[in-house]
Amino acid sequence: MASSDKVVETVIVGNYVEMETEGKPKGMKSKIPNLFWHGGSVYDAWFSCASNQVAQVLLTLPYSFSQLGMLSGILFQLFYGLMGSWTAYLISILYVEYRTRKEREKVDFRNHVIQWFEVLDGLLGKHWRNVGLAFNCTFLLFGSVIQLIACASNIYYINDNLDKRTWTYIFGACCATTVFIPSFHNYRIWSFLGLIMTTYTAWYLTIASLLHGQVEGVKHSGPTKLVLYFTGATNILYTFGGHAVTHTPQAEKARKVESGGIKPKINEPGEGRPFSGPDTKTNRLQEIMHAMWKPQKFKAIYLIATLYVLTLTLPVAAAVYWAFGDMLLDHSNAFSLLPRTPFRDMAFITFGFACTPLYFVWEKAIGMHECKSLCKRAAARLPVVVPIWFLAIIFPFFGPINSTVGSLLVSFTVYVIPALAHIFTFRSATARENAVEQPSKYFGRWVGTYTINVFVVVWVLIVGFGFGGWASMTNFIHQIDTFGLFTKCYQCPPPASAVSPPPHGLNATTAAPLHHPFNHTHSP
């Protein structure tokens, strides 16, 4: 019998077996670099999601609580945490659907990084692709800007011999070294350290605030104004929209199935092998799964990461707001209210996740994405760093800029577009019947899924983009009117000679935070 007669026509969804094999170190020489550099495990995925979801926004959540009040702050965190996990789930479904269709066409994804706009293009056409690309790239650009502003602000509170703008110059140059990190595979050590640092920072702020106690005459007035209320709400909307970064790039390792060759067998459900066809029960994969060696183990990583992040964000925001109350309205960075100690100086936030997807888009635009030379790719990526650096110097309004980006960009990138894309992708009965991922019965199947999607779109358009956009822009314009562009040291304390002695013993090593008339971050 001829070999061609033995070919069984199948459709596969990725050669995951090969991915697992390529992900295994082949000797001691490869084990050591793989330990720190070449990550692809389920733990790496969890580290990436958890460390990147909150990052620098952690420092502004107490500021949001001072605008929202304690009860609203807690409720919005829980609500947007669940909503963010839902849209991340939708994004993973759309990705699996796209990849399945492409592999039926025997598309080769080796050495190619699939991005969100390509998923929209493949499922819904070029107009969806263009809209998704515009929103996503703009968000990632300003997300990187916010990270850089936050890092410069934190370093200032460690060493105030230089102003925040100077620290932005210095740290911007340091962050440019991220051009040498090829892909999300290589963020293993950074993801791990980022999560450790974020966890440490959260619990330091929580414990330090509780030990500090409430400042004399503390007031908890929030919410007092609509503009403050919706500014705080959109900052939390931004907080739980971190998968705008994590869903964007995936390092693909799928092998093209050659015509006429022997095609891999479809594994039956329950065999412990990767899913491989529309008739098998697919895993609920997040798009970052393709930086994993065993993506079939990737289930509800983003939801678990969100639940973990809530154990950080809720205590820190509640504790700092309890201790300092309305003073946070003038101090968007929670570090500014705590004494300078070695424990505070150890807290740090990482930079680079939001840059990497932008690097990929830029590489594709200039035809460098398939280049195997790391040095050439790094040189080609440098123009991406320059506008990030420049914008961080123009708009150093850490806190207010988070809300603005959340309302105008994250609302569409993370919530509205994925929900609408899911609705339109499966709008026909045929598409729903042949969908790779069928909605769970816990969500009410297709009717329940569509109901949730419509709710997400309506809520975010009205509350997030509508009221949130009005409030955030009002507050942001107020920052420009108060401080001006290129401000040298945003919300820096007055000179030490003008500061009265601190009222609390735990604050003896630092100047007491004041309600300085030029530090207001809210509209009069």
CA distance 139 to 44: 24
* Residue 179 near residue 288, CB atoms below 8 Å: no
| Structural domain spans, the chain | 54-252+287-483
Instruction: From 90, 79, 72, 48, select the one nearest 350 (Cα to Cα).
Output: 48
Instruction: Give the least confident one: 183-187, 354-358, 403-407.
Output: 183-187
pLDDT tier, 366 (very low <50, low <70, confident <90, very high otherwise)? confident
- pLDDT at residue 145, rounded to an integer: 87
C-alpha to C-alpha distance for 288 and 246, rounded to whole angstroms: 6
DSSP 470: H
Rg (CA), the chain: 24
Report the pLDDT averaged over residues 323-349: 84
181: nearest Cα among 29, 43, 385: 385
Nearest in space to 327 (alpha carbons), one of 242, 254, 413, 219:
219
E strand or H helix at 101: helix 70-104
Quote the Cα angle for 380-149-244, to 5°.
Answer: 65
**199 against 455, higher pLDDT:** 455
- More confident: 77 or 379: 77
Q: Out of 143-157, 163-177, 252-266, 390-404, which region has the weakest mean confidence (pLDDT)? A: 252-266
Percent of the chain whose predicted confidence (pLDDT) is above 90: 25
- The more confident residue out of 510 and 209 is 209
- Rounded CA-CA distance 419/452 in Å is 9
What is the rounded average pLDDT of the residues 293-315? 73
- Cα angle 230, 235, 237; round to 5: 90
CATH of domain 54-252+287-483: 1.20.1740
> Residue 116: is its pLDDT beyond 90?
no
Q: What is the C-alpha to C-alpha distance for residues 74 and 66, in angstroms, rounded to an integer? A: 12
User: Is the entire prediction scored with pTM above 0.85?
Assistant: no
**Distance between CA atoms of 150 and 350, rounded to whole angstroms?**
10
**pLDDT tens digits, one per residue of 462-489:** 999 999 999 999 999 998 888 888 888 8
- Encoded tokens for 394: 């123009």
